[in-house]
Structures are given as structure tokens and as C-alpha cells.
């Protein structure tokens, strides 16, 4: 197995992509708007990825947080509220907000499961700080540790009820960054003592099955490498201090925070301690380069992957029963906090 999550170029698996996937057996795949046309097409695409790898319990990822980060949207799919909706509800009634978030993400997860998607890159556990870039903004479940922990936990629970694996991000924390890591490398100058606040949600939810790193440099821990490429941060902060032993993926290698070729960056991320490199854009030359350069998945990577995917219990009812369950939890959500 190759320790990489690949993107795809379009809405079907091309002949050359299929050949590469069959030869290399990538750990998983991630989907974007360019890969999506409708429900039948998307179901056929996810089926073809399982067929190409010969693995039924295959990680097929998507960024479906709700709000402004949603790869599936109207009119084909439902519109989902942002994290800020539940953060606002939490300030009024924490219990109702938690229940509503759980219902929301169970329904969202069922919509993903319906088309064969098994992993959702949510929840965001970043703690926003004054003056930071708004790339996190309404993606955060509040501006305090408690609401982020409580609501983040219900996101994981809701997705799990739908048979979908959650991914906590962006470990060890993106909330202080003054730049968007899609465009530049942020440097967070806070002290290790100050950064304890950023780590707190990740420590509380360290049991999560998967996590995604932050492309951010934290001189308090490593003044040379960003977290994704830092053996020190991955070992000492993420694995030891936070206590996260789930599957650790990099954020997208194509983001401008990183410098270098995609294959070299993927190798650096894996050598630093990421279990798997995330390559989102589906550029065939980059995928071939990663296939040539990356070593086979480590024993720890395989163990963590098996544990993460074994924990999911897919919905086993009929299509009609799935739709009935999805509508029931949406109705419960709306009763708890009103129509988002």
C-alpha cells in the first residue's frame, strides 16, 4: 500500500489513473467539485475506486464541513449550516446545541454514505484568536476551548452514527495564523505556554480516528519546519503531548505554504512522521512522482488505518430507510435550534 491519498482529475477514473491505482494501491482518495456531477455518477465513481484497489473499506474523503466549505451542494445535495451556527446556539443552550450538531452531522454523514464516501474532513478544532486570518472564521465551533471540544465531539459522534469517519484538523492548531496557508506559510510566534490553548481541543479529542496537520511554523517547537514536515512537532507535540495515535495525514501538498516538488514534499511529510501524504489536485505527473518516491506504508500506518476504518458501522437499511432516517434527524436538528 502506498501512503498517499490521491485526488482525481475528473468525474470518472481515467484509464491511466486506473492503471496507476491498480499498480500502487494508494491508501485512499479525496474528492472535489470537479469529480462530482450527480448522485448516480458519484456512486459509480466511488464504486470504481473500490474496484480499482480491491478494497471495500476504502477511505474516500471529502471536505464537507457545511457553510462555505462544502464540495457537495444544492440543487443536487442539501445545504448544511456552518460551525458558527452551532457555536451561536451553544452560547444559548449548550445541551440543545450539542444534540443539534450531532443530528446535523449524522444527516450529513448519511448523505455522504449514500454515494459511497467513507471519510469526512471534519471537525475543525482550531481555536480562533483576535487578529488571525479569517480562513478559519465561521468554520470554528466558537472562540473558546469548551464549545469547540463539546461540539467537535458531537460531530465525530454524528458522523460515526452514519458510518463515516471524522478527521480532526488542523493539528496542532490553525487559529492564530495571520495568513492563509493555501497562499503562504504562516508563522505563529506564540510561546509554548500560549499554544497550550490551541492544543487543548486536540488533546480532548485525541481519540479521533484521523487527523490532518497544519502547514504552519511554530518557532516555540521548531523554528525551521512547519508542523507537516517537522519530526519534532509530530513526535513530541502531536504523538506524545497531545496523545494522538490515529491516522495522521498531511494537509494538501499543493498549498503554497510548502515549497518544493510534490513528490519530494510527500516524502518529507512521511519521513517527518505523517502516516500519509495528501495530494489533492489529481495531476497525473505528480501522482506518478509520488508513486516512484514514497516508501510502502509503515506498519504503524497500516495499524492506524485498520483501526480507523474498522470503527465505522455503515448504515445497513434500504435507500428508503436511509432517507427516512436522514429526514428524521434533520427535523430534530431544526426543532432543537430552529431552521439554520
241 included as an active-site residue = no
Given a contact cutoff of 8 angstroms between Cβ atoms, the answer to whether 216 and 135 are in contact is: no
Mean pLDDT, to the nearest integer, of 204-218? 98
Please state which of the ranges 87-101, 128-142, 225-239 shows the lowest mean pLDDT: 128-142
Domain boundaries, the chain: 65-337
331 included as an active-site residue = no
Per-residue pLDDT reduced to its tens digit, 77-105:
999 999 999 999 999 999 999 999 999 99
Rg of the chain in Å (alpha carbons):
19
Given a contact cutoff of 8 angstroms between Cβ atoms, the answer to whether 64 and 108 are in contact is: yes
% of the chain exceeding 90 in pLDDT: 93
Q: What is the DSSP string of 41-75?
A: HHHHHHHHHHHHHT-SS--EEE-EEETTEESS-TT
Q: How far is 29 from 125, CA to CA, in rounded Å?
A: 23
Record the cell numbers describing residue 23, joined without a space: 499498480
Q: Which of 120, 126, 222, 251 is catalytic?
A: 251
Q: Which CATH number fits domain 65-337: 3.40.1410.10, 3.40.1190.20, 3.50.50.60, 3.20.20.300?
A: 3.20.20.300
Q: What is the pTM of this model?
A: 0.97
pLDDT at 340: 59
Mean pLDDT, to the nearest integer, of 292-319? 95
Q: Which of 47, 93, 95, 182 is catalytic?
A: 182
How wide is the angle at C-alpha 163 spanned by C-alphas 55 and 246, nearest 5°?
Answer: 75
Per-residue pLDDT reduced to its tens digit, 14-29:
999 999 999 999 999 9
Find out whether the peptide bond into 123 is cis, omega within 30 degrees of 0.
Answer: yes
| Residue 339 predicted with pLDDT over 80 | no
Mean pLDDT, to the nearest integer, of 319-324? 95
Amino acid at each position: 500500500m502506498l501512503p498517499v491519498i490521491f485526488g482525481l482529475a475528473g468525474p470518472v477514473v481515467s484509464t491511466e489513473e486506473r492503471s496507476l491505482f491498480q499498480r500502487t494501491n494508494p491508501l485512499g482518495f479525496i474528492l472535489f467539485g470537479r469529480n462530482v456531477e450527480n448522485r448516480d455518477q458519484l456512486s459509480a465513481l466511488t464504486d470504481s475506486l473500490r474496484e480499482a484497489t480491491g478494497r471495500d473499506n476504502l477511505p474516500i474523503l471529502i471536505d464537507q464541513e457545511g457553510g462555505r466549505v462544502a464540495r457537495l451542494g444544492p440543487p443536487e445535495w442539501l445545504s448544511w449550516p456552518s460551525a458558527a451556527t452551532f457555536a451561536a446556539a451553544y452560547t444559548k443552550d449548550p445541551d440543545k446545541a450539542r444534540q443539534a450538531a450531532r443530528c446535523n452531522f449524522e444527516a450529513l454523514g448519511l448523505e455522504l454514505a449514500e454515494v459511497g464516501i467513507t471519510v469526512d474532513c471534519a471537525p475543525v478544532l482550531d481555536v480562533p484568536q483576535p487578529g488571525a486570518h479569517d480562513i478559519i472564521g465561521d468554520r470554528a465551533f466558537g472562540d473558546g476551548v469548551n464549545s469547540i471540544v463539546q461540539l467537535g465531539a458531537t460531530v465525530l459522534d454524528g458522523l460515526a452514527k452514519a458510518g463515516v469517519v471524522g478527521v480532526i484538523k488542523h493539528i496542532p492548531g490553525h487559529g492564530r495564523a495571520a495568513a492563509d496557508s493555501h497562499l503562504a506559510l504562516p508563522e505563529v510566534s506564540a510561546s509554548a505556554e500560549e499554544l497550550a490553548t490551541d492544543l487543548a481541543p486536540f488533546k480532548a479529542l485525541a481519540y479521533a480516528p484521523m487527523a490532518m496537520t497544519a502547514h504552519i511554523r511554530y518557532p516555540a517547537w521548531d523554528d525551521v519546519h512547519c508542523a507537516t514536515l517537522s519530526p519534532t512537532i509530530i513526535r513530541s507535540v502531536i504523538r506524545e503531548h497531545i496523545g494522538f495515535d490515529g491516522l495522521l495525514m498531511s494537509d494538501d501538498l499543493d498549498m503554497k505554504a510548502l515549497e518544493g516538488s510534490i513528490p519530494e514534499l510527500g516524502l518529507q511529510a512521511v519521513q517527518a512522521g505523517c502516516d500519509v501524504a495528501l495530494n489533492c489536485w489529481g495531476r497525473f505527473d505528480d501522482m506518478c512522482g509520488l508513486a516512484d518516491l514514497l516508501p510502502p506504508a509503515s506498519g504503524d500506518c497500516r495499524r492506524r488505518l485498520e483501526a480507523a476504518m474498522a470503527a465505522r458501522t455503515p448504515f445497513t437499511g434500504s435507500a428508503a430507510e436511509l432517507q427516512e432516517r436522514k429526514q428524521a434527524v434533520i427535523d430534530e436538528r431544526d426543532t432543537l435550534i430552529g431552521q439554520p
